[in-house]
Amino acid sequence: MSITVLGAGAFGTALAVSIGKERSVTLWARDAGSLAENRESARLPGIELPENTRVVADLDTALNADTVLFAMPMQSLSQFLRSISVSLVDKSLVACCKGLDLTSLQGPATLLAERCPDSKAAILTGPSFATDIAKGLPTALTLACSNEEAALKLQKSLSTTNLRLYRTTDFVGAELGGALKNVIAIAAGIVMGAGLGDSARAAVMTRGFAELSRFATVRGARPDTLMGLSGFGDLVLTCTSDQSRNFRHGFALGKGQATDTNVTVEGVATALAVLNHVRNTEIESLLPITTMVAGVTQGQISVANAIHALMSRPLKEE
């Protein structure tokens, strides 16, 4: 089975490194020339591309594969799919990004399935940092695919010595767990940046997971998926490590510092997308952390006022 990774950011390159250590893989990059020559990405300094990893700039060449991994920001995926002229019929298309489309509220795998109905869509998600994968450190991820036969083939072809994949057919749960945990990670970062302490972070993580579960189950996610790697597992990782872009973004906001506009922070768009979807519905009042994250990241409310609003909510049962 031939494999292509589209996108030479940190995560896409890390996947190409991990897979390339054991089998052939093609990595599509806009700056393919320098990457192919130097065999090292500025996103992953000190990590060398294996000999089995071929770097190309031509998209048509890259798409000449049985399995295509889409490792690009979620908000770029829709437009990118519209730009593809090569047929994707009968290919396995694996989303390797997290988030929700601002317009449709679709997750990446759902978007792939809708735009490419004659392909086999899947999503690879879960608690992972690109540097850990590239260094060969043990990492477990969820592979969600509704086609059982395709899932088995993908699980076998994408698993490596350090990358262990678990299958599920719950598309929605895997997508929403991976997307919504980024919102809670921003909140956890704000808490730590504002100096509120680990107890407050634990409360945000716990209540944030309750919010995540409320929204995702209404959308059709299975509770067991949300309790797994793509939900609870990913939430724990991104809320407790400064390797997380979303956590760092929240930390800077909590500190009152400027944020890096060159870094993709999917949780910002996801919080906005969720609130736009639930506005004026019963579930809106059940998402207080998401509401505050959206307000703070959009500059509509201060960190101090957001904290006061959350602590002043009516007392209730858990």
DSSP secondary structure, 77-142, as one string: HHHHHHH--S--TT-EEEE------TTT---HHHHHHHH-TTSEEEEEESS--HHHHHTT--EEEE
* Per-residue model confidence (pLDDT) at position 316: 84
* Per-residue model confidence (pLDDT) at position 64: 95
Q: Hey, where are the domains in the chain? A: 3-169, 172-311
pLDDT digits over 194-219, tens only?
A: 999 999 999 999 999 999 999 999 99
For the question of residue 181 being annotated catalytic, the response is yes
Distance between CA atoms of residues 10 and 27, nearest Å: 12
Q: What is the CATH number of domain 3-169?
A: 3.40.50.720
* Per-residue model confidence (pLDDT) at position 19: 98
* Per-residue model confidence (pLDDT) at position 101: 87
* Per-residue model confidence (pLDDT) at position 296: 97
**CA distances from residue 245 to 62, 179, 212 in whole angstroms, order as listed:** 28, 13, 19
DSSP category for residue 232? I
3-state secondary structure of 298: coil
Report the CATH superfamily, name and number, of domain 172-311: N-(1-d-carboxylethyl)-l-norvaline Dehydrogenase; domain 2 (1.10.1040.10)
282 contact partners, CB below 8 Å, separation of at least 6: none
pTM score, whole prediction: 0.94
CB atoms within 10 A of CB 241: 13
83 contact partners, CB below 8 Å, separation of at least 6: none
Ranges of residues in the chain whose predicted pLDDT is under 50: none
- Strand-strand pairing, 139-145 and 120-125: antiparallel
Distance between CA atoms of residues 174 and 251, nearest Å: 26
Helix H or strand E segment including 11: helix 10-20
* Per-residue model confidence (pLDDT) at position 131: 96
Size of the chain in residues: 318
Closest CA to 175 of 205, 207, 208, 145: 145
From the candidates 91, 181, 255, 316, which is the catalytic residue? 181
pLDDT digits over 124-179, tens only?
A: 999 999 999 999 999 999 999 999 999 999 999 999 999 999 999 999 999 999 99
